[in-house]
Every structure is written in structure tokens, then in C-alpha cells.
Structure 1
Amino acid sequence: MVAPESWQTKKDFATKRLSATTAPTTSFVKGKEMENPYNGKSTRLCLAFDIGTSFSSISYCILNPGEVPVIRNVDRFPRQHHADRIEKVPSVIYYDHAGKLWAIGAEILDPEINSEAADEGWIKVAWFKLLFGHKKAAKLSHHSPLPANKTKEDVLSDYLQYLYECSRDFIEDAHPDGVFLWKSLHGDAQFILSHPATWGGKQHDMLRGCMAQSGILPNSHMGRLAFVSEGEANLHYIMRHRHELGLDSDPKGDGVLVFDAGGGTIDIGSYNIIQWSPVVMEEMSVPESLMLGSHVLAVELRAMLDRVTDKREALHMYESFEQFTSSPVDQRIEEVHPEVVKMFDSCVSAVVQAINVQRKGNVSKLRTAFFLGGLSLGSRLCEKLVSRLRFMHIRVFRPEHLLGHAVSEGSISCYLNNHVIYRVARFTYGVKCTREFEQNDPEHQRRRRSAFVNPSGKVFLPNGYQAILKKGTRVSRDREFSWVFVHECNRKEETKTASCEVICYVGDLANPQWMDTEPGRVFYLTNLVPQLIGCKDKYRTLCAVRADVSNVPVFPLKRSAIHFTQAESARPFYRQKFWVVLSFGMTEMKAEVKWFEGNEERRSPANVIYEE
């Protein structure tokens, strides 16, 4: 793969620096062994990229058949400013106004680069990860605007390509015969991308597109791309280093709280330890994700400073903020600014509330918490949170000396040997459906004006909702959920393809039945016709499932003479019956179509499509 032209045309000082920082062969090829030998048939390269809001990291593993895999971390980068090893590189890119890339990642740490950026008026793009998340997160990124001709996908593609090039350079320099090793393995490499717990299929599609745009993976090879949530990556990192953390006693039956304070969010997840050796775990509750990361709080601080005209008060606010987030005890100021105290008290309250949600029904099990991410152990914020947790009889671990590659290293560990066998459904998942009219059902009577007759002569009501998987359900990795799809149509040509939408219900009903109303909603009369207040905000389309069903048997049938004219009854209609099968147990949702030919089950893959 050839680096972008803008990377090849750096200033002279960048080229000189490259030769000065090239590492001696094998000097830093160290890593942590996994527990089980690799059972694959051929040698493979596994690369994990952790793209954080502020900083990013890379880990990799060379999988040799019959050998215990060793995870290694990239800690030297081309064109870095100094010869020391660095665990993470800034998630920052400098572009000129034409959109040409001039500096990226480790290069940003060079004062000369920043000086030239100021002289040339380059655009500094940071926090671009927030553009892909929640709308509230995307709004925060306006503090770091994109060049006029660059999209968020362009920026992420550039950064992914940078990480890929850094991986190549490191492996070629660090291993004996590294150039040959890279050439022989990179064409079939397995890639793992980590992401926040709130990201789903829409973001997965975006990441696939960026991997293709960057030239790392063609669209036809997306089977070599896997996704891991940052929370589970952190969990697997902790389990790999459990002996270094002093977790030698068997905590079977105990719960573990994983607290990750990043630049954009604070993510909180809880896991129950089913078995200790080998490790087997399950999710205890739906993970919480709070928009209270360090960058979010810094933006709030900036807004506070903009309202202050007194320079001394502004300095007081800034020092107070630093004390809450990073300053150690010996650098503390005597009196903290009250507005900053109020901001962080609100943050602590929100975090504690989220922890209590995780503890609901599991109070006696949650006994250990791990603090990861950029939050300093000596900060006031960390002290406040630790104090609250200890009050809940939860012991707290903060493995500060091990954190540099926690997510990227944990991503590979999770991919190779996933310890989490049960997850908790985030939402109620279902589909829009029709319900056969029942004369004695009061709700059906209220809806009789909307009834219609299908080709077989049965009376149905529209706007029904059929739950497939209810929120809070424990889901194993191999458990499937399905619903029957009876397709009736007038033309045989309409039986070639089928599609439906998977819809999430986010309301409070335990068993939602209708998509246009809920109990307690008011009826309005419009032109003397009852109109129901809609509940569209309670139902959100997650994705569409589309499948080729041309191999599913089609049966021509006669129409009912009761509901159709003689001419209409003379024309047949066509019916197909199949099941749409969904798997929710992994990070990605999978879909298939199944049907029966006699007693034999048949299956065919289906496409899961997320709208822009």
C-alpha cells in the first residue's frame, strides 16, 4: 500500500527525523501471552486499532498454528518527534484549506510542526470521532471544523490509513525479516476496530466504508473486519492482566464494574464472573454511556470561561478544572471555584446514578470496580467517585501503569478468546405486523375502520408490533430469534425478494402491541372519525433486512369467494412461508432466511442494511 502523496512530501525535517527514530530490530518485540494455543491452519496477522476521541493506539498479534499467541503493542511511530517509546498518538490531523494532509498522529507532538501549522494557517481537525456518535456528541465537534472539501468519512479514512502505515513500519523494523513477514501476511490480515457501547450497525457500516475508502480492505473482504465494544475490550484486558492486578483468588459469582472515562464518554458496564479458570463471564445489565468525557467537560469549561471577564477568576476556574481532572494532591489550590464544583458534582451524581442502574438487582454481586481511561487517580473527581464506590462496599482498582494499550490489546484478546457468553438486550426489538381481526377484542373493534382483506380472504388490522427480543433478555452468542413471514401476493414475480424493517421499541410497556398508540393515550375526533395520537417517538427503525427468497417454495392458491367477485376469485394468488432469523449475541447483528422443503430445513443469508 502506498502512503498518500501528502505523507511522502513532508518537509526536510520530517524526513531527517524518520532515520533518527528508527528502532533497532527486535529491541521492543515484547508482549503478553494468551492462554490457549492458536488452532488455525495457517499463520495470520491480527491488527487492532483503537481510535479514541483524543488519542489512538495499535496492537497486533502474529498467529502461528499450535503456538500460544502473543499480543504486542506498537510504541514507535514514523516521524515522531523524539526517540522515546509512546503508547498512544494524538487523534489529530492538520489539513490545508484545499484539504491536503500535512501532519497526522505522532507528528503533531513536534513543536516545529505546530509552529509551521500556525504560520501556514493549517486547519487542525481533532475530536472527529464524535462526529459519528450521538447527535449531542456530534455538536461538540464544531469546535474543530473540517476543511470545506472534507467529509467526516474522508478524515477517518485518512487516519485509518495512517494507523495501517504505522503498523507496517513497526512490524518491518521490529521483527527479523520484518519486510518479508509483512508482505506475506498483510494480504490476509484480520482487523479489529473498537467503538463505544452505544455504536451499532449504522456505525459499523460507516467503518466498513472507511476501511474500503482508505484502501486497507476491499468491499469483498469485509469478512476480515471485526468489531468489539470498548467496554468488552477493557474487560478482556483486565482479565489478561488479572494476576498483575492481584486478582488471584477465585471470585466466582462476583460482579465486576468496568468504568472507562474517555474523551467523549464515560462508559460503565457490569459483568458477572461465572467461571474463573478459564474465564467465563456474562453481562449483568445494559451498559451505560454518559456524555461526560474529558472533552465534553472541557467544552463546558470553555463556555464558562467565555462568560468571565476577570482574568484572575478565569485562571481560578482553569486551575480548579485541572484539579478535578488531573492535578495530583501536592499541586492543589486551597479553594476550588464554586461553578466548577457544581459542574463536577453534577457529573458525579450522573455517574453514581448510572452505577446504581448497573447494581439494580445485583447489589450483593458487584464487589470490584476497575477505573480505566484518562481520568487521573489523584484527581478530585476520581477521589469523589472512589469514595462513593467504597461506600457501596465496592473495592476500586486503577491500573495506571498498564493503561496505554488497554482497548487495542483487549480487542485482540476478545477476538481470539471472548469470555462473555451472555449479553443483555439493549432494547426491545421487533417488526411491524398485521393482526388477524378478532370480533370480540375491544381494541380490534376500535380499529375496525382500518381493517382490510388479504388475498386468502382473512380480515387483518395494520400497525401491529411483534416483539422478537425484549429488553433485558439474556442472549447467548449462538441463540437465534425468528418470526414467521407469510407472504401473499397477486403476481408470482413478487416472490423473488422480501424485506422488512427491524424496529426498536424504547417505551415503557412490557408487551407493546400497536405502533400508533399506547394505553392512556387520548383519542381525538377529526371529521367525526377517531384519530389516535401517534407514538412514533417510541418506535425507531434500526435497520432493514433484505433477502433473496427465490428458492423458497411458492404455492398458487384460490381466493375466497366470500370477499371477492367471481372474476377476482378465478385468479389465483401466491403464498410463501419462511422465517427471518436474527442473531444478537455478538457485537454485530446477523440475519438469515430459513424455510422447509418437506422435513428438511434450508437457509440463505440475508442482508442487514442501515440507512444513512
Structure 2
Amino acid sequence: MNVRKSYEGKVRRLLLAIDVGTTYSGVSYAVLDPGQVPQVCGVNRFPAQEHAGGDSKIPSVLFYDRGGVMRAAGAETSQEHVIEQAADEGWTRSEWFKLHLRSPASDTRQELSTLPPLPPHKTVVDVFADLLAYLFNCTRTYIQETHPAGAQFWSSIAQNIDFVLTHPNGWEGRQQSLMRLAAVQAKLVPNSDAGRARVSFVTEGEASLHFCLNKGLISANKNNKGIIIVDAGGGTIDLSAYSELKSDGKVSYVESAAALCLFKGSVMVRRNAEIYIEGHLKGSRYFDRAADIVDSFDKTAKLTTKNSTIPAYVKFGGMNDNEAAYNIRGGKLVIPGAEVARFFQPSVTSIAQAVLSQRSEAKTTTPSVYLVGGFAASTYLYTQLRETLVPLGIDVCRPDSHANKAVAEGGVLYVLDHQVSARMARFTYGAPGSEQYYQSNPDHARRQAKSYIDVHDGERLIGGCFFPIIRTGSLVTETQEFRYTFYTTFANLAEATSISSEIWVYRGCRQNPQWIDNDPESYGVLCVVEADVLKATRRLSPLYGKRGKPYYQFDYVVVLLFGLTELRAQLSWTENGVEKRSPAKVVYVDE
């Protein structure tokens, strides 16, 4: 484990990591004092949960009144008087809202097509922002109450807070931009370039890796046989494979397989249980208690079930509640162990298959699997994965030290320790375009109908081409630049003020995608890179095409940094043989 350095900044800052999970959310932080080695702390006390121990998280649940005002959040939503008031006044309950952020491309099987709807007149950004604001206010209160001279201490850092937002491995730039928008809406940061820059992102898989490293769990992996982090959460299962890299006496980790994100979290087990319980109780006088029974199963049996031979006893009533025909005895619904196993089986099977897939891609025979996250607390999930994977030479371990806060704590550690030095491209990224048409080229001849004459230079071109910039599976360092040359033409210099260039993504299986019409459903716009080019285009000289009309052409290079946790871009061009650069803005389109 690398030795953490003291903070080298000149002013005190607060580093705050917020993990908004599908079912539970948590916050961790570190105070960055000049000359001091930062320590990770957790927010361990929330409203209506003051009795909780040192690993508290709160439910990702909010209540809205009929006017759209948030009236309760977190553990408050479980209080009896709040539930009663919500029923009396017609409040709307919002849960699992995080999954509404997902990209349609990440849920091609429509596994989440029946999510609970968002509250009326609310977007997912609105709800996300409300929970972020609530968590931030709770954090401020907690720090003021637990640190000496709390109010004064808070005032010393209130304007110097950096935020890390965690998200599933499957989230992309569009989801990050919406989360940053929610952070602005929640007033965590100002709506300015400097304010938005104070929000950064890390995947749940990478955050969990840093958590395991900090706990010393991976230091025992002496033979460097590979590491697979399985962050089993409420909505998603995030898998990340790493190998150890030693250089100049320092140890870092690089992704050895593309990160995966499965929609097979614990909410799917609950959903399977709900389907069974509602179906089983049809005709029973206890049918109207089905929702209570599902809640009871979710809080107890889902975590304690050990194997398929032991029935689950789900308590929901008193000793006088009996109905033998429906397996209800003494206020408990008895669910056969084989049925409970079926609730879990899709998750167990998907995780095991994903681990084997990552092992194969990483070319590692005997990796160690670290199971973390709230769903990792399920004894059945853990034992089934061990029974499946250990005989195949894959060790499976489950940290017992507040593993349900691995992501929040790991979000802070990602910034402090930063032990991942290279990441793997999950898809192929490139740009659409045209190339010069040649009748002798069979690909061109087949697409003759797509050829056209360039309006400026009169050359015949063929459209529908795809030019890869980075290919899926490429290992990319954080400083590695990927460059793609574009050009744009203007009828006159008055138009030459700004440019925008589309970056596309190919999600299909072709190793060398070249023509968009070969697999059109797998292509899409990832983002648009925008930049101000007024200073660069003022010196352009007119060109004259075959038709004699003048025009202006600006040749430039979009420089992309794919190796970070967030895509960054710059613009490059040449003036008098010297490369010039300017910032570029990455804008994600609505899907």
C-alpha cells in the first residue's frame, strides 16, 4: 500500500464524496489541512437515524407533497408519523430514481422498464438534486457537531469544497453531465466554469478498489494473479478487473478488462420476491398485506438466507395470523428455500458469468474476487458465488469492515491515493465523415448512391464512413492524447467564430468498424466538442474551388483524453508552424 503524502495545498479544503445509491446513500469526507496527512471520515449520523453506528447510510427515498415540495428524505421516510402524514396528505414516494439516469444503450434488454415512476412534474435531475442538497445539509450539520469549534471550522472550508460523485460503471458522459447539473441545482457549487470544475466523478468499481486497497485487503495478493472487484449494490452490479503495476518503486493498478455494469442488484431479488408473494397470496385474506411481507423479506430473509434447503420465515403479523393453505403460520409467511433460491438465481448467474468473462479478457487464470457493496451482505449471494467460482480457481472474499460504505469512502480515497494509472476503453470511439470516392473500390462502388460532389472544391466524396479514434479494449493512461483531424469550411470570415465536431461511439461487435450502414443500430453520437475559434480563423486566406467561388477552410485537431474518469477535450491548430491550443467544451446530446 502506497504511503499517503501530506496535503501540499496552501489553504484548508474539504473533500466530500457522495454516493447516491439506488437503495441507500452515504457520504465520506477528508479535511485537507496544509502539511497534514488527510484521513477519511464518514458521516455517521443522519436525521431519524441518530442511534445508528459507525456505518450508517440512509435510504435513497424522498417524499413530495402535492405541490412538488420535498417533505421528507432518507430515514425520515420510515418514521411512522411521516408515513401516516404522507398517506393523509397524498404525498408521492420517490425511490430507485437513480436508475432513471441510465443510458438506453446500457439497458438494451429493458430489464428496468418497470421502474417506479418519477414524482409528477419532476425530472430525474430534480430528484437527484433534492437528495444531494439533503445529504450536503446533513454533512454540514454533522461536521459542525463533531468537530471542535464546529461553526467556525465550517466557515473556514465552506467556500473550498471539492465534490466527488460516484456512479455505476455503466454510466457515461451524458449521465455525468446530468449529475453535475444536479449538483449545481442543489447549490453544492456555483453555476460557473470554476464551480462546475469542483465536481469530479469516479466509477463505483474504481472507488471500491481504493477502499479495498486502503483496508489492506489486496496487499496479500502477492502473486499478482489479478483482482476483480464486484460492487454489488441495490440497482447495479459493477465489475472491474485490475492488475498490479510496479514502476520506480511505486505500485499502481491498471484495468485488465473492460468494466461491466449489470442491472442485477438487490432490487431485482426484491422484485422477484414481490412477484412470487403477490402470486402466492391471490385468494388469501392476507393478500392486502403483500407489500408489508415484501418489505419484511427485503429487510430480513434476503440477507440471512443461507441455502436452498432452509425455508424463509417472513414475519408480518401476530401469533393469531394463520392460513395453512397459504403457508402462513403464527404471523409468518413460510417461503420454501427452493423458491428463495430462484429469487437470487438471475443475479448469481449473471455475476458468475461476468467474473468468468473478465477473467478471460484479462487473461488471468486465478484472480481474487472482492465482493463489496450493500448486496454483499447477503449470505446466500456470497456462498453461491463461492460455490460456483472457487472450484474454478477463483478465490472470493467479502470484507467485513463497513463494506456497504465502500463506495463513499473509496470516492475520497480515489482523490487522495489515486492508484489507478490506466483504464480500458469500453467501446470504440470515432468520428463520422467522408473520403474521396474511387469507383475501383468495391466498398465505394456498392455505396455509389451515397457519393456527392463537394460544394467547395468539386471533388466527389463518399459519405457514411466511420473513422475510429480509439478502439474498444485499448488501455489508456491518464495523460495519453488521442488526436483526430477535422476541417470546416466557411463562406466568409464573419461565420468563422466557433466550431463543433461530433464524436461518435460504436457499441457493436465488429473489430474494425468502417461503414455506418453495416451496423447502423450500434452507432450513435457520444458528444459534441465545441470551441471558440475566432482568434484562430482571423488569419485565414481565401481558397478557390473548381467553380471559382472563394471560401475559407479551418484545419484543426480535436485532442481527446479518454484515460480519465471523465472525457476531456482540447482544440489544436497550427500557426506559422507552431501548434496552438485552446480549451474545448464537451457537450452531451439528449438521448
What band does the TM-score fall into relative to the shorter chain? 0.7 to 0.9
**Aligned partners of 1:124 and 1:144 also within 8 Å:** no
Alpha-carbon distance in 2 for matches of 1:477, 1:362? 20
Flag the 1:365–1:549 CA change in 2: closer, same or farther, 3 A.
farther
Where does residue 61 of structure 1 map in the other structure?
30
SS in structure 2 at match of 1:551: helix
* Letter matched to residue 228 of structure 2: L
Q: Secondary structure at the match of 2:29?
A: strand
Aligned counterpart, 1:600: 578
- Taking the TM superposition and a 5 Å limit, the aligned residue runs for 1:192-231 are 192-220=164-192, 221-231=195-205
The answer for the alignment partner of 2:277 in structure 1 is: 305
Name the counterpart of 1:326: 303
SS in 2 for 1:219: coil
| Superposed displacement of residue 284, structure 1 | 0.8
Aligned position for 2:121: 149
Q: Does 1:273 align with 2:244?
A: yes
8 A Cα contact 1:52 1:91, kept in partner? yes
Q: What TM-score do you get using the length of structure 2 for normalisation?
A: 0.86
2:137 corresponds in structure 1 to 165
Distance change in 2, residues 1:323/1:66 (3 Å): closer
Cα distance change on mapping 1:180 and 1:453 into 2, 3 Å: same
1:540 paired residue among 524, 529, 539: 524
- Name the counterpart of 1:11: none
Aligned to 2:326: none
Q: Once the 2 structures are TM-superposed, how far is the Cα of residue 481 of structure 1 from its aligned partner?
A: 0.7
Q: Map of 1:492-507 to 2, 5 A cutoff?
A: 492-507=493-508
Contact 2:458–2:545 (CA under 8 A) maintained in structure 1: yes
Partner of 1:39: 8
SS of equivalent to 1:287: strand
> By how many angstroms is 1:321 displaced?
8.3
**Structure 1: distance between partners of 2:19 and 2:76:** 18
Q: Indicate if the aligned counterparts of 1:450 and 1:461 stay in contact, CA closer than 8 A.
A: yes
1:431 corresponds in structure 2 to: 431
Question: CA 1:324–1:426 in structure 2 vs 1: closer, same or farther (change >3 Å)?
Answer: farther
Q: One-letter code of the match for 2:526?
A: L
Classify 1:169/1:470 alpha carbon distance in 2 versus 1 (closer, same or farther; 3 Å): same
AA at the equivalent of 2:576: G
What letter corresponds to residue 237 of structure 1 in structure 2? F
Distance 1:418 1:312, change over 3 A: farther
Letter in 2 for 1:265: T
Gaps of 5+ in 1: 1-31, 519-534
- For residue 260 of structure 1, the aligned residue among 222, 228, 231 is 231
The answer as to whether partners of 1:489 and 1:574 remain within 8 angstroms in 2 is yes
Query: What SS is found at the alignment partner of 1:35?
Result: coil
- Does the CA-based 8 Å contact 1:33-1:69 persist in structure 2? no
Q: Distance in 2 between matches of 1:138 and 1:147?
A: 21
**Partner residue in 2 for 1:180:** 152
Change in 2 beyond 3 A, CA 1:185/1:387: same
* Secondary structure of the corresponding residue to residue 157 of structure 1: helix
Kept in 1: contact 2:18–2:26 (CA 8 A): yes
- Contact between 2:257 and 2:362, CA under 8 Å: does it hold in 1? no
For 1:8-87, list aligned pairs within 5 A: 35-80=4-49, 82=51, 87=56
- Equivalents in 2 of 1:347, 1:545: separation in Å? 38
Counterpart code for 2:532: D
What is residue 523 of structure 1 aligned with on the other side? none
CA drift of 1:550 comes to: 1.9
* C-alpha separation in 2, matches of 1:439 and 1:175: 75
Cα-Cα RMSD: 2.9
Is 1:397–2:374 an aligned residue pair?
A: no
1:251 partner letter? K
Q: 2:30 corresponds to which letter in structure 1? A: C
Q: 1:140 offset after TM fit, Å?
A: 4.5
Conserved 8 A contact 2:365-2:393:
no
CA shift for structure 1 position 123? 2.2
SS in 2 for 1:187: coil
SS in 1 for 2:202: strand
Instruction: Return the offset for 1:408.
Output: 1.0
Q: Offset at 1:143?
A: 5.8
Q: Which AA in structure 2 matches 1:539?
A: Y
2:541 to 552, 556, 578: 556
1:197 and 1:92 map into 2 onto residues whose CA distance is 22
- Given that 2:2 and 2:251 are in contact with CA atoms closer than 8 Å, whether structure 1 keeps it comes out as no
Match of 1:486 in 2: 487
Name the structure 1 match of 2:315. Answer: none
- Seen in structure 2, the aligned counterparts of structure 1 residues 58 and 218 have a Cα distance that, compared at 3 Å, is same
Q: Partners in 2 of 1:208 and 1:248 — Cα distance?
A: 35
2:564 alignment partner, SS class: coil
1:127-168 per-residue CA deviation (whole Å, 9 max, x = no partner) reads: 111111245599858664443233322221111111111111
Other-structure match for 1:475:
476
Structure-1-length-normalised TM-score: 0.84
1:404-453 superposed Cα distances (whole Å, 9 cap, x missing partner): 42111110110222111111101000111110122431222233343333
Q: How does 1:368-379 map to 2 (within 5 A)?
A: 368-376=368-376, 379=379
* Structure 1 counterpart of 2:265, one-letter code: G
Query: 5+ unaligned residues in a row in structure 2: which ranges?
Result: 313-334
Matches for 1:456-475 after TM superposition, within 5 Å: 456-475=457-476
> What does the per-residue CA deviation read over 1:283-317, in whole Å, with 9 as the maximum and x for residues that have no partner?
011111111111122123322333332659999x9
Deviations 1:229-251 (A, max 9, x none): 11100000000001xx4x54462
Further displaced range: 345-354 or 43-52:
345-354
Match of 1:292 among 256, 264, 269: 264
SS at match of 1:326: helix
SS of corresponding position for 2:401? helix
Quote the Cα distance in structure 2 between the aligned partners of 1:108 and 1:272: 42
Identity of paired residues, percent? 33
